[in-house]
Amino acid sequence: MQINKILVVGAGAMGSQIGMVCALAGYQVTIQDVAADMLAAARSQLTDRMDSSVVKGRRSRQDAEAALARLTFTTSLEAGAADVDFVIEAATEKLEVKRSIFAALGRAAPEHAILATNSSTLGSSKVAEETGRPQQVCNMHFFNPALVMKCVEVVRHGKTSPDTVDTTMKLARSLGKSPVLIDREIPGFVANRLMGAIRDEALRLYADGIASVSDIDTAAKTALGHPMGPFELMDLVGLDVSYLIRQATFEETQDPADLPHPALKELYEQGNYGRKTAHGWYRYDQSGTRIQ
Ligand code: CAA
């Protein structure tokens, strides 16, 4: 299947960067969000990122401008979906929100279009039936920051067709990513399960008073060679995202061991989501630089 036009639903950190990745690879991209201010912020952040990549010599001014020109922004899901070949949904990690988005996509997107979700926890089987085309639904899960991280998890559910898997894997490769195929839905898929094991241990070490947040992060970087420590990573991804992923996992497994850690819950309930609110495990100034 030939892909020309892609719709990305959701203009948050993930959706906006996924849209940019697709535009850089030459696709026509629409980014849709119900909130016009999110779209404006996404446009301005992506323009800044492209400017800085030009200044660093990563790409030519002409290529950056051409990629930005391939991006369109809209608040209308129906308008955005009207003539697309592929949809990547990157809205909030709430099942009810995703269900209504996929029902609307099923009505508005052309029959041939594949409808993928970037969800890291909710397997696409949870939304597939809403679309009327469950065989064309799968997870296409990117990692934060999507402009940089190479991994994309392609997760099939019981009814995903081989053509859908094949097209999604090919699309990921065409974006310069290294897709991994996950043959069965499992909470957290693969990468988040690996990361979760480290994060949970880090939270335990901190909550038990064994070491400070910054010393645990330092050990992960200097002993294990990780680019970021687990607390820095939670601040990057967003404590709201980490919390909601954990909550969704618990709702699926009903295993109390999967509940969000109380220290994470506390920060979440205070509205301290990490870099995006300038306060999480660490504090940040307006430019996003860590100050504490
Ligand atoms: N958005 C886009 N690009 C970013 C970025 C951001 N938020 N932060 C850094 N970059 C880019 C920089 O522009 C730079 O690009 P160039 O090489 O073109 O100059 C490059 O990344 C390296 O940046 P820095 O030199 O400033 O800093 P760094 O070397 O420490 O790298 C990092 C930053 C790429 C984020 C690195 O620390 C890293 O890989 N961290 C781990 C990230 C990770 O584990 N992500 C997975 C999160 S889990 C997830 O996403 C799953 C989920 O379901 C929630």
> Whole-model pTM?
0.91
> What distance in Å separates the CA atoms of residue 17 and residue 49, rounded to the nearest whole number?
10
Q: 259 CB less than 6 Å from ligand 1?
A: no
Q: 148 CB less than 6 Å from ligand 1?
A: yes
Q: 289 CB less than 6 Å from ligand 1?
A: no
Distance in Å, CA 96 to ligand 1 centroid = 30
10 Å Cβ neighbour count for 195? 19
**pLDDT of 208:** 95
Q: 192 CB less than 6 Å from ligand 1?
A: yes
**pLDDT of 187:** 81
Q: 220 CB less than 6 Å from ligand 1?
A: no
Structural domain containing residue 120: 5-182
Distance in Å, CA 280 to ligand 1 centroid = 18
26, 50: one domain = yes
Distance in Å, CA 146 to ligand 1 centroid = 8
> What distance in Å separates the CA atoms of residue 230 and residue 218, rounded to the nearest whole number?
10
What CATH number does residue 242 fall under?
A: 1.10.1040.10
Helices 61-69 & 36-55, crossing angle to 10 degrees? 160
Q: Which of 133, 149, 182 lies at the terminal end of a domain, its last residue? A: 182
Residue 13 lies in a domain: yes
Residue 222 lies in a domain: yes
Residue 169 lies in a domain: yes
**From atom 51 of ligand 1, which residue's Cα is the shortest distance away?**
143
Residue with tokens 């996929």: 102
| Tens digit of pLDDT at every position of the chain (292 positions) | 899 999 999 999 999 999 999 999 999 999 999 999 999 999 999 999 999 999 999 999 999 999 999 999 999 999 999 999 999 999 998 899 999 999 999 999 999 999 999 998 899 999 999 999 999 999 999 999 999 999 999 999 999 999 999 999 999 999 999 999 999 998 889 998 899 899 999 999 999 999 999 999 999 999 999 999 999 999 999 999 899 888 888 888 899 988 999 999 999 999 999 999 999 999 999 888 999 7
**pLDDT of 93:** 85
> What distance in Å separates the CA atoms of residue 124 and residue 89, rounded to the nearest whole number?
11
Residue 285 lies in a domain: no
Which residues does the annotation mark as catalytic?
120, 141, 153, 192
Residue 32 lies in a domain: yes
215, 173: one domain = no
Distance in Å, CA 253 to ligand 1 centroid = 31
204, 141: one domain = no
Residue 174 lies in a domain: yes
Do the bridges between strand 71-74 and strand 86-89 make them parallel or antiparallel, or are there none, so unpaired? unpaired
Which atom of ligand 1 is found nearest the CA of 58?
A: 18
200, 173: one domain = no
Which atom of ligand 1 is found nearest the CA of 191?
A: 51
- CA distance to 64, 142, 146, per residue, from 225 (Å): 32, 22, 21
> What distance in Å separates the CA atoms of residue 54 and residue 60, rounded to the nearest whole number?
6
